[in-house]
Chains A and B, each alone.
Chain A
Amino acid sequence: DAKTTQPPSMDCAEGRAANLPCNHSTISGNEYVYWYRQIHSQGPQYIIHGLKNNETNEMASLIITEDRKSSTLILPHATLRDTAVYYCIVTKANSGYALNFGKGTSLLVTP
């Protein structure tokens, strides 16, 4: 799996958009970008994933650059409950492949 690089921590004011970057310069053509988050002491929660097109769901938007070497997860209106560690993971979309977690970005949403 391609390696990902994320900033260790970020702050965001409540109600503002949180933009979490991820670099994955060695991504291969059949690898997807997945985003998960882990709120303290809970199991990781799936947020969104994409291959090359931008994706949006009820939780977030995923913007993938045209060369696919980086992406940004956008939480449009961050709340205090969005405080968590966010993991960007690149992997082949096949149920036989486990997710390999990096260190992630610790997002703190402040009042």
Chain B
Amino acid sequence: SAVISQKPSRDICQRGTSLTIQCQVDSQVTMMFWYRQQPGQSLTLIATANQGSEATYESGFVIDKFPISRPNLTFSTLTVSNMSPEDSSIYLCSVAQGANYGYTFGSGTRLTVV
């Protein structure tokens, strides 16, 4: 299965600033997915990133707040913009590998906004 390198693993940021999270996959994948996991909660899908087109955002998430880049089939970034303490969460990327394979997740980025 694919191996995902996600960076940074954690960060503490000042409110009003932005953080860019990177996910590098060791193989080419069509779709990449970005999730948020708020403290004590399950994972919530933020958006789906397809190479060469704009990401598709889920209800409650907007591009201005969470811009995503997908420059090639092995890499994607998620930016958390103009952060507030409510953005303190774990952010995870994920890829799927076809009909009969599971989905692989990055190790997550633990973000704390102060």
Contacts and interface: CB of A to CB of B under 8 A. Distances in A.
A96 B107 contact: no
Main secondary structure of the interface of B (DSSP, over half): strand
Contacts of A99: 33, 43, 45, 94, 103
A104 B43 CA distance: 10
A10 to B, nearest CB: 17
B21 interface: no
Interface in B35-53: 35, 42-45, 48
B31 A44 contact: no
B102 A46 contact: yes
Interface residues of A, number: 23
Given A34-B102, A98-B45, A101-B43, A46 B1 contact: yes
Interface of B: 1, 6, 29-31, 33, 35, 42-45, 48, 90, 92, 94-100, 102-108, 110
23 contacts: A41-B108, A41-B110, A42-B108, A43-B6, A43-B92, A43-B94, A43-B108, A44-B92, A44-B94, A46-B1, A46-B102, A46-B103, A46-B104, A49-B102, A95-B99, A96-B96, A98-B94, A99-B33, A99-B45, A100-B45, A101-B43, A103-B42, A104-B42
